[in-house]
Structure 1
Amino acid sequence: MGAITYDMEVSSSIPPSRMFKAFVLEADILIPKILPQAIKSVEILKGDGGAGTIKLITFGEGSEYKSVKQRVDAIDKENFTYSYTVIEGDVLIGLFESISYHLKIVGTPEGGSICKNRSIYTTKGDAQVTEEEIKAGKEKASGMFKAIEAYLLANPDA
Structure 2
Amino acid sequence: MLLALLCLTTENSSVSMSQLISGKVELQVSANALWKCLSKDLANLLPKLVPKLISGVEILDGDGGLGSVLIMRFQSDAGDSYQKEKIVEMDDVNLTMANEVLEGGYKQMGFSYFKTRFQLKEISASLTSAECTVEYETCGPQMRSPEEALQASFFIVKTMEAYLLSQ
- Bucket of the pairwise TM-score, normalised by the shorter protein: 0.7 to 0.9
Which 4+ stretches in 1 moved above 6 angstroms? 62-65
The 1:83/1:112 distance shift into structure 2, 3 A limit, reads same
TM-score (norm 2): 0.81
Confirm or deny that 1:151 pairs with 2:163: yes
Structure 1 counterpart of 2:7: none
Check conservation: 1:65, 1:90, Cα contact below 8 A.
no
Alignment of 1:21-100 (within 5 A): 21-61=36-76, 66-100=81-115
Q: Which ranges in structure 1 are unaligned for 5 or more consecutive residues? A: none
TM-score (norm 1): 0.85
Task: State the Cα deviation string for residues 4-48 of structure 1 (Å, max 9, x = none).
Answer: 210111110101000110122111111111111111111111112
Task: State the Cα deviation string for residues 107-152 of structure 1 (Å, max 9, x = none).
Answer: 114631011111101223xx3559x722222221111111111111
Bigger Cα displacement from structure 2, 85-94 vs 65-74: 85-94
Task: State the Cα deviation string for residues 49-95 of structure 1 (Å, max 9, x = none).
Answer: 22221111101248998101000112111221111101100432342
Check conservation: 1:37, 1:62, Cα contact below 8 A.
no
The 1:100/1:43 distance shift into structure 2, 3 A limit, reads same
Check conservation: 2:95, 2:119, Cα contact below 8 A.
yes
Identity of aligned residues (%): 22
Bigger Cα displacement from structure 2, 53-62 vs 39-48: 53-62
The 1:57/1:145 distance shift into structure 2, 3 A limit, reads same
The 1:109/1:67 distance shift into structure 2, 3 A limit, reads same
Root-mean-square deviation (CA, aligned residues, Å) is 2.3
